[in-house]
Structure 1
Amino acid sequence: MANKYLFLFAQTHEEFRLPEVQSVAELNGFKIDFLSPISELDVSRPFMIFGLENEDHARILARRCILIKSVCEFYARGKTYEELHNANRLNVPKWEKYIEDTSFKFEVSAYNHSIPQKRQREVVENFSYMALLGKIDMKNPEEIFVCVEEYVDKHGMTRHKHEGDGDCREIFFGRLIEEGSARQLVKKFDVKKRSYYGNTSMEAEISLLMANQTLAAPGKLVCDPFVGTGSMAYTTAHFGAWFFGSDIDGRQMRGKDNTPGILRAAEQYDVSKRIIDLMTFDVTRNPWRCGELFDAIITDPPYGVRAGAKRLGRKKPLKSSGSEPPHPDTPRPDDQPYIPPTKPYELSALARDLVLLARYILKPGGRLVFFLPTVTDEYEEVDIQTMLCDGMEVIANSLQDFGSWGRRLITIRKNTSERYPPPSFDAHGGSQPVDDPSVTHVPAHKDFRTKYFQGFRKELE
């Protein structure tokens, strides 16, 4: 039977929480018992109780998951202290081993509230029935017992600091196992402190969450086909993975220094040895001549708000002059290098092509992790299904909500060992085009750039 552990989560990116803990558990070869169907779990609250085989698994999650603040061995919960203490008395076998000679201290705190110091002492004294005989050590105790009150969020309301004290939603009690140490990485990878970044650089917390979704670890090989300024390179490499990056615009990767900007930032984080290479090419004209190379693909494709996606090709066909156009290797009269023309890469076509590319270059079981912007009022679950192909399945879909639009962190797994030929990215992205009359559903991310700059106004009928 699984032991119960109380997790306290940071109240940010709530929908990313469960996919992250599931990914870290899968990476380390153990399972989590959520104790109820995942669809019924309330991620709007910071406290969650999971079943784990042992305490070591709880420590692994606390040390790797970005959204975990702390984890405790769960003893009791209740809507009142009477209810809490009754439940705690039923769990004597869990804490009786600490009665005789274990130094300890109690920590009493609240979520969305500040408890007066006098009442904190009263709360601790009410646990006297535990009859702990060890030394009270406030600085370096062997065990810390945690009591946390949860209050309804009243931010934005003018009130006294201790107003409503004691009128809590629920109370939790347990023994502290470990503080969440991975959250410190958010400060380490802060974009503002980075030696090289751009206007499209991903914020640190999100890039760390994405790295966890890829199952980044020593020996893994991870690729970013829209690497830009390299935000995902540093976090995946920090977790031990080897990283390869590419982009159609090499200037994003290089910057203006002699040393490429991504490599300079990688030096800052002491991960430059894990950056295998950075190359400039169009993903639809990629150099991969054999598949099943990578363990994961992690990327934030450009969708036209701060930068638009491009692919090789002309916006308009050349006018016929009766002769063949010159080959790119033909010497130019002005002695300047040939710069191939590019054209816009529509987001829905890009997404479908990205899934096809992933099916080809990912190893069986490999993951594709990427962001997809969607219009809130238009989004439907079928939008994600329209870009899938045989051998690929969605295992996580988490929304970062911005109001009228949001971006979804999509995790897709290759669930087949069948070998597929290199995809042919034609004008329709190598799959059925959205403009095909046989396609009845238009995904909410199609023409996202146009909708964004129109303020998501619906056309007048």
Structure 2
Amino acid sequence: MPSDYLVRFAQVHDEFRIPELLSVSELFKFKIGLPPKIDTSRALMILSLDSEEHALILARRCILIKSVCELYASGTTYEEIHEQVRRNHDKWSRYIPDTSFKFSVTGYANAIPQDRQLDVINSFRWMDLRGKIDMKNPEVTFVCHEEYLYIEGDRVRSLHDGNFIAVHFGRLVLDGSARPLIRTFSVKTREYYGNTSMDAEISLLMANQALAAPGRLIYDPFVGTGSMAYTCAHFGSLFIGSDIDGRQMRGKDSSPGIIRSANQYGVTSRILDLLTMDVTQHPWRVGGLFDAIVTDPPYGIRAGAKRLGRKKTRETVTERVQTFIATRESDQPYVPPTKPYELSELVSDLVLFSRAMLKPQGRLIFFLPTVTEEYEEVDIDTMLCDGMEVIANSLQDFGNWGRRLITIKKCTDESYPPPMLRRTSEVEIHDGDGEDTGAHIPAHKDFRVKYFQGFKKSVP
């Protein structure tokens, strides 16, 4: 029979919580009962789980979970709490005779004074717990969570003490043991990083969305300095990365930078290969290779997306050869020309490419920047193709713009040949006469231009 568990989240990345929970439950093949009304602004959430083992899995794997408790009571007053705890006597009575214990009274959006914490603890004397009180290493910890409304800019939270909107009581199952990984993979202590290296917490969240686990093969087509490689490999996945600019992966030392950081994290054996290539002219000749494709495509703020090609009309072959021979030094390597890769075209190509390269039920996870005022739900539909469906869309809000972590699943068993993506802005918004055709313009189109213009609307 399912039981209720109280999950306390870190107060960050509100919209990422449910997708992470559902991803971890899918990976470990169990179901989660979500509350009928989900308020992601609240740090506490009551989940229904079939066993305590499932609660332990969530606490050990979910990056955003701070603790999980077996819930004994939930209400708006302590009178309600005591009444419910008495009714649930069978859940905690086994701890009465000789189990060492302690009580913890915590508050969200409020600093609870010590004297009132003691009053709350003493109010549970009627439980008649006879074991030893052990504040350092108890066998069981009973927890009271008081929940207050968060008031922006309120620095003296204790002024609202006692005016909570809800209070919960239960037994601590486990403190979240995945959050310390944020410190482990911090860019500040990493052997090799660059200006596009991803925040450790975000890369861990993406690895969970990718269902990273032993026996799974994950690919990043815009690997850069390898942030996704380390977290996916940490969870046991085998990893392949590629980038059009090999210098991003190599760095300046004799040993490739990504490999140096992989050594630091002890995951070198799980990095299968690093390839220098343009993903639109890739070497893959068969599809269905990867369990997940996870990436943060460059969108032009810290680095712009590139593809092989020339910005201007090509010279004749003879002119190009003569120019190259005349100007190059004897040891100068040939660097192929590149041209910009517009974001809306890039993500459409990425979805099409992923449909071919993913196994059935495989996932594509990537960040998509959008202009806040222009974004509409239909924007995501503009880049989808048959056989691919969106299962999560979580916003990281920066004000005028935000970036959305998009998770797309391959929902077909049909096989597709790897596409050669050689398009050059084939989809036009305007027709030949310069009149608007009425086609929807997604909020991520020409994002780089909008960003550096300060998101000012063009004046007709």
TM range (shorter): over 0.9
- Does structure 2 retain, via aligned residues, the 8 Å contact 1:434–1:442? no
For residues 209 and 439 of structure 1, what CA distance do their matches in structure 2 show? Answer: 37
Counterparts of 1:1-40 in structure 2, within 5 Å, are 1-36=1-36, 40=37
Aligned-pair CA distance for 1:133: 2.5
AA at the equivalent of 1:360 = A
1:128 aligns with 2:128: no
Deviations 1:349-386 (A, max 9, x none): 00000001101111111110000000000001110111
Q: Percent identity?
A: 63
Separation in structure 1 between the aligned mates of residue 438 and residue 232 of structure 2, nearest angstrom? 37
State the match for 2:183 in structure 1: 187
The 3 A distance-change label for structure 1 pair 307 and 118 is same
- Structure 2 match to 1:446: 445
1:122-177 superposed Cα distances (whole Å, 9 cap, x missing partner): 10111122222222222222111000111222352353x63222111211111000
Q: Do 2:358 and 2:410's aligned partners in 1 also have CA atoms closer than 8 Å?
A: yes
Q: Mark the CA change 1:140 to 1:328 in structure 2 (over 3 Å): closer, same or farther.
A: farther
Query: Secondary structure in 2 aligned to 1:379?
Result: coil
Q: Does 1:244 align with 2:215?
A: no
The answer to whether structure 1 residue 209 and structure 2 residue 205 are counterparts is: yes
Q: Deviations over 1:222-242 (max 9, x none)?
A: 000000000000000000001
Greater shift after overlay, 406-415 or 128-137?
Answer: 128-137
Instruction: Find the aligned partners of 1:3 and 1:123 in 2 and give their Cα distance.
Output: 25
Deviations 1:282-319 (A, max 9, x none): 00000001101111111000000000000011111124
Partner of 1:44: 41
**Correspondent of 2:388 among 382, 392, 396:** 392
Q: How does 1:80-229 map to 2 (within 5 A)?
A: 80-157=77-154, 159=156, 162-229=158-225
User: What residue number does 1:373 align with?
Assistant: 369
SS in 2 for 1:182: coil
Equivalent residue pairs, number: 454
1:150–1:170 contact (8 Å) kept in structure 2: yes
Q: Confirm or deny that 1:59 pairs with 2:56.
A: yes
Q: Select between 122-131 and 341-350 the one with higher mean Cα deviation.
A: 122-131
Q: By how many angstroms is 1:324 displaced? A: 8.6
Give the Cα separation in 2 of the matches to 1:380 and 1:405: 13
CA distance in 2, matches of 1:118, 1:307: 54
User: Displacement, 1:435?
Assistant: 3.2
Rate the CA distance shift 1:349–1:126 in 2: closer, same or farther, 3 A. Answer: same
Structure 2, unmatched stretches of 5+, are: 432-436
Q: What is the aligned partner in structure 1 of residue 273 from structure 2?
A: 277
Give the Cα–Cα distance (whole angstroms) in 2 for the partners of residues 186 and 271 of structure 1: 16
Query: How do 1:294-443 and structure 2 match up within 5 A?
Result: 294-319=290-315, 326=321, 334-335=329-330, 336-428=332-424, 433-435=427-429, 437=431, 440-443=439-442
Distance across 1 between alignment mates of 2:322 and 2:388: 39
CA shift, 1:101, in A, is: 2.5
Give 3-state SS (helix, strand or coil) of 2:126's partner.
helix
Q: Following the alignment from structure 1 to structure 2, what is the Cα–Cα distance between the partners of residues 378 and 451?
A: 11
Question: How far apart in 2 are the matches of 1:158 and 1:303?
Answer: 37
What do residues 87-112 of structure 1 show as CA deviations (whole Å, max 9, x unaligned)? 22222222222222322111111112
Preserved contact between residue 328 and residue 338 of structure 1 (Cα < 8 Å): no
User: Which residue is 2:434 aligned to?
Assistant: none
- Between the aligned partners of 2:202 and 2:277, the Cα distance in structure 1 is 26
TM-score, normalisation: structure 2: 0.95
Shift of 1:67: 0.3
RMSD: 2.0
Local SS of the residue matching 1:163: helix
Deviation of 1:441 (Å): 0.6
The residue identity in structure 1 corresponding to 2:280 is T
Return the TM-score normalized by structure 1.
0.94
The 3-state SS of whatever aligns with 1:367 is strand
**Runs of 5+ consecutive residues of structure 1 not aligned to the other structure:** none
Instruction: Tell me which amino acid in the other structure corresponds to 1:182.
Output: A
State the distance in 1 between where 2:155 and 2:263 align: 47
Report Cα offsets for 1:376-415 as digits up to 9, x if no partner.
0000111011100011111100000000000000000111
Letter in 1 for 2:447: F
Which residue is 2:70 aligned to?
73
Q: Secondary structure in 2 aligned to 1:186? A: helix
Go from structure 1 to structure 2 and tell me whether the alpha carbon gap of 1:105 and 1:356 turns closer, same or farther (over 3 Å shift).
same
Which shows bigger deviation, 161-170 or 6-15?
Answer: 161-170
Whether 1:266 and 2:265 are equivalent positions in the alignment is no
CA contact (8 A) 2:282 2:420 kept: no
Q: Deviations over 1:333-357 (max 9, x none)?
A: 7544332111000000000000011
